[in-house]
Amino acid sequence: MDIDPSTTKYLIQAKLSTDGIVEKPDIVGAIFGQTEGLLGDELDLRDLQKSGRIGRIEVEVSSNKGKSEGIVYVPSSLDQVETAILASALETIDRVGPCKARISIDKIEDVRISKRNKIIERAKVLLNELMKTSKTSGGDLTDSVRQSFQMEEVQHYGKERLPAGPNIDDSDAIIVVEGRSDVLNMLKYGIKNAIAVEGTNVPQAIITLAKEKVVTAFVDGDRGGELIIRELLEVAEIDFVARAPNGQEVEELTQKQMVKCLRNKVPADQFAEMVNLGASSGRNGEKQGRSEEGRGDRGRRDDDRDRRREPRESRQPRHEDRPPPQPPIPRLSPEQLRFKDVLSELNNSSKAKLLNENGNVLKEVHVSKLAETLKESGTGVRAVVLDGIITQRVLDLAVEKNISSVVGVKVGNVAKLPTNVEILTKEDLS
């Protein structure tokens, strides 16, 4: 069936059955002949077909056992009302040639809806192809523009012309990374206060910045990153250390991974203790000296005891010279017992509590923010209890803030022990 889609709006579909054998010309002739003059001049089929308001009438007919059945298609470009009237007129046909006939309308199809459905399906296919191509080119375009913008934002800092973000001078805190690619990746996610060390030899610009600003070293999760941290801790005043996940580099981290690593930064002294960085000095050296001295005294006492030793049979019991037993002296003061209770409450929490002179808790913070909190604290803090390592930085701040006691799990590599601060560990309180 051939229908002109440019002129057809509706398609009348009618079912035909006859009592005898008929052919297509008989059916078409009956349609034109029996509707002539029935609907008036305005809806005369011959005139409508000549003017192109209805299309070519198509018939599909088949004969079986002396009877014929078929389907009649009448394309129409009339409006809905006129098309419905024309379809009703077809049902008045009762003869085709010499045979009795019956015509019933199956449906009137809106051809434009079918066209729209075809348009939608085809548009989906075309849009899918378009999105595949434009997605690739659009992504490349976005990346190239972003990369170009990042390249413009990268500055060269100091005499060494170190790659750095634009906010190095304005920011109170900076992030020291390994190379230019790390700075670019951080700029990609809006972090503009990063500067690259460019190797294991720490430039003078980094050392100078470390004296003025809060510095976080952010390195790769490999052996090279550890070497850079060692070098930085030896020559610069590093405050915090952050590392990429094991085996990953800062330049390949996603925004979520990068933010997580920076949030999980730890104080530099605590990190050094965790990975056994730095030479043993200060408190450890004093402990060793006291230990050697103790061993020397104990050796001399053993020699004296040997010289004074007498044969067992010559010694006489001297019960009358023994002093009466004394009541045991309590080892911990009430204040120290309070410290012990607080330390037990903080067990495995990585948090710290600031206490006043009455032993009441003034504030509870994470260990990583302890130094910052102590800097901002007033004069009411009398003791610090932390579930972590007592570092040189914490002790220095304790002296500065007139804090009388610092209690922790253990003491790190402390080079300078303050004389006016009581230092207690978990072992001391047990």
C-alpha distances (whole Å) from 303 to each of 162, 291, 300, 307, 313 are 65, 18, 5, 6, 21
Is residue 36 domain-resident?
Answer: yes
Position of tokens 């102590």? 374
Give the model confidence (pLDDT) of 85-112 as tens digits. Answer: 999 999 999 898 889 999 999 999 988 8
Which residues does residue 18 pair with via DSSP β-bridges, in sequence order?
A: 68, 101
- pLDDT at position 121 is 92
The reply to whether 197 and 102 lie within a common domain is: no
- In this structure, of 244-248, 320-324, 333-337, 385-389, the range with the lowest mean pLDDT score is 320-324
Question: What CATH number corresponds to the domain at position 236?
Answer: 3.40.1360.10
Confidence grade of residue 354 (pLDDT, cut at 50, 70, 90)? very high
Cα(334)–Cα(358) distance, integer angstroms: 11
Determine the average pLDDT of the residues in 143-155: 63
Scanning the structure block, which residue is given the tokens 């005369």? Answer: 44
Please give the pLDDT value at position 280: 37
Nearest to 48 by CA among 98, 15, 12: 12
408: in domain: yes
Q: What local confidence, expressed as pLDDT, does residue 131 receive?
A: 82
Domain boundary residue, one of 110, 142, 169: 110
Q: What's the pLDDT score for residue 330?
A: 52
Q: Residue 15 belongs to a domain with what CATH number? A: 3.30.70.2690
| Residue 325 lies inside a defined structural domain of this protein | no
pTM over 0.85: no
Same domain membership, residue 171 and residue 267: yes
Residues 103 and 160 in one domain: no
Contact of 249 with 196, CB cutoff 8 Å? no
| In a domain? residue 350 | yes
Q: What is the mean pLDDT of residues 377-390?
A: 88
Sheet holding 99-110, edge to edge: 58-64, 67-76, 10-18, 99-110, 95-96
CB 8 within 8 A of CB 74: no
Taking the C-alpha atoms of residue 240 and residue 347, their distance in angstroms, rounded to an integer, is: 23
CATH of the domain at 367: 3.40.140.20
Question: 282 in a domain, yes or no?
Answer: no
Task: State yes or no: pLDDT of 293 exceeds 60.
Answer: no
Name the domain boundary from 110, 139, 167. 110
Average pLDDT in the 36-49 region?
A: 86
Per-residue pLDDT averaged across 63-79, rounded? 91
Residue 275 or residue 203, greater confidence:
203
Domains identified in the chain, total number: 3
Q: Among all chains, which residue has been given the structure tokens 């990153």? A: 225
Q: What SS3 string covers 85-110?
A: HHHHHHCCCCEECCEEEEEEEEEEEE
Is 91 among the domain residues? yes
Looking at 110, 145, 176, the residue that finishes a domain is 110
- What is the C-alpha separation between 135 and 128, in angstroms, rounded? 10
Quote the pLDDT of residue 289. 43
Query: Is residue 44 one of the residues assigned to a domain?
Result: yes
DSSP state of 326: P
Asked if the model's pLDDT at residue 71 lies above 90, the reply is yes
Whether residue 405 is predicted with pLDDT greater than 90 in this model: the reply is: yes
Q: Residue 354: in which H helix or E strand, if any?
A: strand 351-355
Distance CA 263, CA 352 (A): 17
Q: Is the pLDDT of residue 166 over 70?
A: yes
pLDDT at 321: 52
- Measured between alpha carbons, how far is residue 226 from residues 12, 179, 194, 264, 412 in Å? 83, 15, 19, 17, 19
Residue 264 carries which side chain, given as an amino acid letter?
Answer: N
Average confidence (pLDDT) over 331-351: 87
- Position 325 scores a pLDDT of 57
* pLDDT value, residue 291: 41
Angle ∠(102,106,109) on CA atoms, nearest 5: 140
Tell me: do 269 and 168 sit in the same domain.
Answer: yes
Interatomic CA distance for residues 391 and 399, integer angstroms:
13
Q: What percentage of the chain reaches a pLDDT higher than 70?
A: 81
Domain range holding 373?
Answer: 334-425
Give the confidence band of 414 by pLDDT, cuts at 50, 70, 90.
Answer: confident
Measure CA 305 to chain center: 70
pLDDT of residue 313: 45
Mean pLDDT for the chain overall: 81
Q: Residue 314: is its pLDDT beyond 80? A: no
Sign of CA dihedral 412, 417, 418, 419: positive
Q: Is residue 144 in some structural domain?
A: no
Longest Cα separation, the chain: 158
Q: Closest Cα to residue 430, out of 343, 340, 347?
A: 340
In whole angstroms, give the CA distance from residue 201 to residue 194: 18
pLDDT digits (tens, 9 = 90+) for 232-289: 888 888 999 999 998 899 999 998 999 999 998 989 888 887 776 543 333 333 334 4
User: Who's near 367: CB < 8 A, 6+ residues apart?
Assistant: 266, 267, 270, 350, 351, 352, 386, 387, 388
> Which pair of structure tokens corresponds to residue 430?
């047990």
**Residue 137 confidence (pLDDT):** 55
Q: Lowest-pLDDT range, 44-58, 123-137, 393-407?
A: 123-137
Question: What mean pLDDT comes out for the span 191-209?
Answer: 88
E strand or H helix that includes residue 411 = strand 410-411
* Residue % of the chain over a pLDDT of 90: 24
Residue 284 is predicted with a pLDDT of 39
Exposure b/e, 405-417, CB count within 10 A at least 16 = b = bbbbbebbbbeee
pLDDT(1) > 70: no
| Residue 385 pLDDT exceeds 90 | yes
